[in-house]
Amino acid sequence: MSGSTVVVNLASSRAAIRDGMATLCPLARWVINDMTRG
């Protein structure tokens, strides 16, 4: 996190993107809440 920006780098293969998004999507609400608290 840098200020109000989150940067996520995923490998360019479809499988890596699919796996990365499967991990990131459930965390999105927590990240947004964490960034807006404060």
Phi, psi of 19 (to 5 degrees): -65, -40
pTM above 0.75, yes or no: no
Identify the pLDDT of residue 10: 92
In one-letter notation, the amino acid at residue 18 is: R
Q: Report angle CA 36, 20, 26 to the nearest 5 degrees.
A: 45
Task: State yes or no: pLDDT of 36 exceeds 70.
Answer: yes
Instruction: Point out which residues pair with 5 in neighbouring strands.
Output: 2
Mean residue pLDDT across the chain = 86
Q: How long is the chain? A: 38
